[in-house]
Amino acid sequence: MADIPFDKRDGFIWFNGELVPWADAKIHVLTHGLHYASSVFEGCRAYGGEIFKLQEHSERLVNSARIMGFEIPYSVEEINAACRAELAAQKLVDGYVRPVAWRGSEAMGVSAQKNKINFAVAAWEWPSYFDPEQRKKGIRLDVAKYKRPSPETAPSHAKAAGLYMICTISKHAAEANGYADAMMLDYRGYVAEATGANIFFVKDRVIHTPTPDCFLNGITRQTVIDLAKRRSYEVIERHIKPEELSTFTECFITGSAAEVTPVGEIGPHKFTPGTITATLFEDYTAEVQPKVSARATA
Domain end point (choices 107, 124, 141): 124
Q: Are residues 115 and 171 in the same domain?
A: no
Q: Are residues 181 and 273 in the same domain?
A: yes
CATH number at residue 87: 3.30.470.10
Q: Does 293 map to a domain? A: no
Query: pLDDT digits over 6-21, tens only?
Result: 999 999 999 999 999 9
Reply yes or no on whether the pLDDT at 155 is more than 90.
Answer: yes
Q: Does 298 map to a domain? A: no
Q: Are residues 161 and 258 in the same domain?
A: yes
pLDDT at 295: 33
List the one residue out of 146, 245, 148, 257 whose CA is nearest residue 192: 148
Q: Does 57 map to a domain? A: yes
Domain end point (choices 124, 153, 184): 124
Query: pLDDT digits over 191-208, tens only?
Result: 999 999 999 999 999 999
Active site residue 159: yes
The average confidence (pLDDT) of the chain is 95
Q: Stretch 284-290: mean pLDDT, rounded? A: 94
Q: Are residues 153 and 258 in the same domain?
A: yes
Q: Does 174 map to a domain? A: yes
Domain end point (choices 124, 158, 177): 124
List the one residue out of 295, 290, 235 whose CA is nearest residue 87: 290
pLDDT at 2: 64
Q: Does 85 map to a domain? A: yes
Q: Are residues 223 and 92 in the same domain?
A: no
Domain with 257 in it: 132-287
Residues in the chain: 298
Q: Are residues 138 and 277 in the same domain?
A: yes
Q: Are residues 200 and 89 in the same domain?
A: no
- The angle at the Cα of 65, spanning 61 to 67, to the nearest 5 degrees, equals 115
Q: How confident is the model at residue 136 (pLDDT cuts 50, 70, 90)?
A: confident
Helix (H, G, I), strand (E, B) or coil at 284: helix
> With a threshold of 0.85, does the pTM exceed it?
yes
User: What's the domain count of the chain?
Assistant: 2
| pLDDT-wise least confident of 91-105, 118-132, 175-189, 200-214 | 118-132
User: Which residue in the list 114, 116, 159, 291 is annotated as catalytic?
Assistant: 159
Q: Which three-class secondary structure string do you get for 244-276?
A: HHHHCCEEEEEECCCEEEEEEEECCEECCCCHH
Rounded-to-integer distance, Cα 284 and Cα 70, Å? 34
Q: Are residues 85 and 146 in the same domain?
A: no
Q: Are residues 111 and 137 in the same domain?
A: no
Reply yes or no on whether the pLDDT at 129 is more than 50.
Answer: yes
List the one residue out of 259, 263, 280 whose CA is nearest residue 272: 263
Q: Are residues 50 and 152 in the same domain?
A: no
Q: Are residues 146 and 245 in the same domain?
A: yes
